Chains A and B, each alone.
Chain A
Amino acid sequence: MNSKYLIGIVISSIVLVVGLVLTAITPFQSVNTNPYLTVIDKNGVVYGVILGVGFIALYTLLQYAYEER
């Protein structure tokens, strides 16, 4: 496998795992008696985006690596 894909796959895997863990451990900022008005932690959204970007990057790189093979 091309080394640039290998490095990319390793980095994106780390990003995916970090995003996954951080999203999972982030609680809501405050809980309201009306559940529709509970306040979320904005960082949780950022971690979720990191998780998504890691997932998409990993999938894309795996696809490139597979096609090259």
Chain B
Amino acid sequence: MVDESGNIEIIAEKSDRKLRHKLGTIDLLFLSLGGIIGSGWLFAAYGASYVAGPGAIISWIIGGVIVIFIALNYSELGTMIPRSGSIVRYGQYSHGNLAGFFFGWAYFLSAVSVPAIEAEAVVTYASSYYPGLTNGVVLTGTGILFAALLMILFFFLNYFGVRLMGKTNTGMTWWKLVIPFSTVILLIAVGFNMGNFNLSYTSTNSAFGPVGHTFSGFFPYGFGPVMAAVAVSGIVFSFLGFRQGLDYAGEAKNPQKSIPIATVIAVVIGIILYVLLQTALIGSLRWGSLGVAPGNWHGLDTSLGVYLNGSGQYIGPQGLSALAGAPFAILAQSFGLVFLTYVLFADAYISPSGTLNVYLGTSMRTLYGLGTIGFLPRAFIKVHERWRVPVAPLLASLLIGFIFFIPFPSWYKMVGFITSSTVFTYMVGGPAVRIFRKHAKELKRPFTLAGSKILSPLAFIGASLIVYWTGWPIDLYLLIAVYIGIFIVYPILYSLKLNDKKIFDRTSVKAGIWVPIYMAILTFMTYIGSFGGKSYIPFPWDLVVVVIISIIFYFWAVYSGYRTEEIDTIIKENSQFLASDEGVFEKEPDKGVS
């Protein structure tokens, strides 16, 4: 395809130009919405209920607002340097090779696991009428096989190009908007019970809370679980679909206009929809049929040991198992809403499949993005001449996605890991905005974030809190997974000459050392804090400590950034905005930064 001996930035630029620039604002908005309304709408409201009770409604608002802070920062970055797989490149552009590899590897872990979790969602819903697919909500061998076949189907849809994918996604997302909103209206109309928002339960089993303790009201477990629900039950996971507009930035017709509109509006629509869904779900629960005492919100968690026998088989109430496997469909069924029930079970194929479709493409673009900054073999930036997609990253995304079925065989198990690994990569967005304002003033900014002196640190602190709320031990798993990338995967790639970058050179270490240190400190905080840890620092003081630490690291991150080789090349080569080889890229606006 290109000169193998050439400069990696020049090679990447040529590959970037080969990508089709076919996606409009509505396509990007619907790509983001397609990501936001995926399996999250099917399961996250239920998961948030058993973590926080009715207070989960507030969790959706908190999660959405933090994601908007993050999205606003990425809107400036995404329009300034619109590239496919762009999110993975900004850490590299702002802090050099070491930080770039850390963020790239963490983002890669999250992106390749999303298609797997969406496939798991499809299978979990299907287990309501094909019981052999799951045990409780954990996939069996047959269930995993079915999920893998789904991923292969969408591999081929992505293979045949971005235009078809973008267009089918828009229709799919309209469907995904109509069904949840209809569900909210119908459930509230036929079975809403305001009493569910102010129940009282006295624990009789330590699995549900200290025996004899009474949990009551809108926040039965206090405000800590409201924050934990943001991270561990799939709330932020759902909102993270905003990134689609950025990941497909290199294929947008007019990224300068489309990206900020697509990302922010998508999150706002998501907040409205999910708050309504959470309200409808809580108000529609019928405790007597569940086999759980009214107000025992923790008792809705089917993974509790009290519901499992010695060999891990689910032995809890059947009504509860049915509801956990397909929450909204079973609620509709319980009220005799026959048509809605069938449409919801059908939607359980369509909604996650749409997201699976989108994220398989995202995962492909992440690997492509890592290839363009020299962290992966050059085969990963080879774009298919006819279909205009990078084939090697797409195939690798599929195969690596399969692996995630092994450690995380259920939707509820995988969601916390994906949330933490993704949000960790978003931390760099806020500092990167400030660094580019200082070290890359020449770059035009089609979208300039007003008030970035406040919004950039807020995004950094918000992302840090989400990672912290994910809690112990999930953050430990993430730490181990990322360190494996740095200390095992990178040396192997480098020694085989499959990686062009030196990440431990003096400049890279000086600029990027804050990343592994911050990651280790946040993980240590989860161990000594109140979110799954030992509570040596009790709630809410642990939050105060995390916020103080995150402010310190924000300024460290900002002051350690510099004008990297990649930014220098973009400025010298005048390649900030790439025109497609097909010549459909629209004119760039003339707007600098103040």
Contact = CB atoms under 8 A, between A and B. Distances in A.
B322 interface: yes
Given A23-B339, A34-B289, A55-B175, A40 B170 contact: no
A63 B343 contact: no
Given A49-B346, A60-B171, A28 B333 contact: yes
B350 A56 contact: yes
B171 A57 contact: yes
Chain A interface main SS type: helix
Contacts of B346: 23, 45-49, 51-52
29 contacts: A23-B339, A26-B338, A28-B338, A34-B289, A35-B286, A35-B289, A35-B334, A35-B336, A36-B290, A36-B319, A36-B323, A40-B333, A40-B342, A44-B338, A44-B342, A45-B346, A48-B347, A51-B343, A52-B346, A52-B350, A55-B174, A56-B171, A56-B172, A56-B175, A58-B171, A59-B171, A59-B175, A60-B170, A64-B167
Most buried by B among A24, A44, A45: A45
By size class, the interface of chain A is: 20 to 34
A55 B322 CA distance: 28
A38 B333 contact: yes
Contacts of A1: none
A51 B171 CA distance: 13
Given A26-B338, A35-B286, A40 B175 contact: no
Given A27-B338, A44-B341, 10 more contacts: A23-B342, A28-B341, A35-B286, A35-B334, A35-B336, A36-B323, A37-B319, A38-B333, A52-B347, A55-B171
A36 B334 CA distance: 5
A48 B343 contact: yes
Interface of A: 23-24, 26-28, 34-40, 42, 44-49, 51-53, 55-60, 63-64
Contacts of B322: 36-37
Contacts of B341: 28, 40, 44
B487 interface: no
B160 interface: no
Interface in B328-344: 330, 333-336, 338-339, 341-344
Contacts of B342: 23, 26, 40, 44-45, 47-48
Contacts of A36: 286, 289-290, 318-319, 322-323, 330, 333-334
Chain B interface main SS type: helix
Interface residues of B, number: 32
Most buried by A among B167, B171, B334: B171
Nearest to A36: B319
A61 B259 CA distance: 25
Nearest to B322: A36
Contacts of B128: 40
B586 to A, nearest CB: 16
A49 B122 CA distance: 12
B345 interface: yes
B146 interface: no
A47 B346 CA distance: 8
A38 B289 CA distance: 11
A34 B333 CA distance: 11
B404 to A, nearest CB: 26
Contacts of A46: 346
A38 B334 contact: yes
A45 B318 contact: no
5 smallest CB-CB distances across A and B, nearest first, come from: A48-B346, A59-B171, A35-B334, A36-B319, A44-B342
B387 interface: no
A49 B339 CA distance: 12
